Structure 1
Amino acid sequence: MRSSDRFGGAAASITAAKQLKLTRAARHYLAEHEGDFPCRFDAILISGERENEIEWIRNTFDEN
C-alpha cells in the first residue's frame, strides 16, 4: 500500500530484492512439502489517500 504516489505507486514497492525473497521462500516451502504444486504470485495494490484505488495484478512476476 502507498498513501501517495510521491515516491512511486504501489507497484513500485515490489522491488527486485523483494521479488527474490518471495520466490526463494516459496521454493523452500514447496521443497519442504514434497510436491509439485502450481504456484503464482498475485499482487493487490492499494493506493490513494483514502485507499480507494485498488488494482489486482495476477501472476505478478512469472519466471517463465
Structure 2
Amino acid sequence: MKSPKQQSGDAAERRAETLLTGRGLTTVDRNYRCKGGEIDLIMRDGDSLVFVEVRLRRHKDFGGSLSSIDQRKQRRLIIAAQHYLQRQRWQGPCRFDVVGFDGSHEANWIKDAFSA
C-alpha cells in the first residue's frame, strides 16, 4: 500500500502527463528506474525524447517545487537517462523538462530545464 505522499506524487505525475499529452507530447514510459536514479515520465515531442521530472510541493517554502531540483538531483536524472538511452539505443535529440506543482496552483512546465 502506498503512503499518502506517494499517492500525491502519483497524482501529480498523472496531472503532468495529461498536461503534456494535451500539448502534443506522447508517453513512451513511466517511472523508469535504474540503480542510478528514476525518471518520472519519458515522452516524445516530435523527433525529441523528453525526460520529465515532476515535482510537487505543498507550499512554496524553501523556494517551491522548481527550485527543489538541485545539481545532485540533476545528476541522478542524467544517469538514469543515459542508462535508458543505452538500453533503447536512442540516437535522436533529447532534453530534460520539469513540471512543478506548488500547492493547488497550476502546473509550471519548464522545457529544456537543464542540459546534460
TM over 0.5: yes
5 Å matches for 1:45-56?
45-48=100-103, 51-56=104-109
**CA-based RMSD:** 1.4
Greater relative contact order, per chain length (Cα 8 Å cut-off, separation 6+) = 1
Number of equivalences: 61
Under a length normalisation based on structure 1, what TM-score does the superposition of the two structures give?
Answer: 0.80
TM superposition outliers: structure 1 runs of 4+ over 6 Å: none
CA distance in 2, matches of 1:37, 1:4: 37
Which has the larger share of helix?
A: 2
Under a length normalisation based on structure 2, what TM-score does the superposition of the two structures give?
Answer: 0.48
CA distance in 2, matches of 1:34, 1:44: 26
CA distance in 1, matches of 2:59, 2:90: 41
From 40, 61, 71, give the equivalent of 1:6. 61
Equivalent position SS for 2:100:
strand
AA matched with 2:106: E
Equivalent position SS for 2:57:
coil
**Larger Rg, first or second structure (1 or 2):** 1
